[in-house]
Structure 1
């Protein structure tokens, strides 16, 4: 069986950052997937499902209401390993092109107040599994430790 691309990334050398995961083409249209890596795989404790779920709800809502990225956002969701998220945008981008929107999004989460969007029984299949204080904490740590100190190594997979 063919090994998928994300399993071919050497997770032993992977740092926290924003990585171009893949570019796919549907006709002339490019779809770009990014790996938003918040935790060092197999070294740092992973996020619990409650904060992961909360970040997912806030980010998906943020992107789909953004003045520029509303029409570009195809998907935002968690990695099964709970070390980060995937975001899929319509268009051809590199990691450097999305630093500003990812930073803006994590500042938004870190400062978020109010009800978590879609955190009710009619809107979500597991609405009780939410933790806004921990989501804000995780977003703030990622913002301060990673996004405000990005280098080439945090934007490009090592070979």
Structure 2
């Protein structure tokens, strides 16, 4: 029997302050900075789920919905939403919070695939995941569709080389 653990066990929350070096000439955060934060929280989330080191296999979707400005706080949350034999899909959302008003705005959502690796860097099995919230269940149900899309993209990329 393959071990199954709840999605909540992997849930990870990070808080980042948006500082001037993280921003462009308009005072809004660079997309690349947000991507680095997303990759970091996805890795921590996947490591919590698997108990293993992980590598990023793909960033499937990133939706930049709004911007964060200097002085805002970024609240990032990651959770494992599906698993394969050695891979984990991680959903990440980033919200921007104004320090003055406390108002939160969804800024970015992303789905990444992380692969657990052993000491030699070889893929290693991970436990399955049991979604808990309605949102997690919806993402879990659509995991196979996303996997098929990734496989098609990978085949296309190989053809281009």
Provide the TM-score with structure 2 as the length reference: 0.31
Name the TM-score, length of structure 1 as normaliser: 0.31
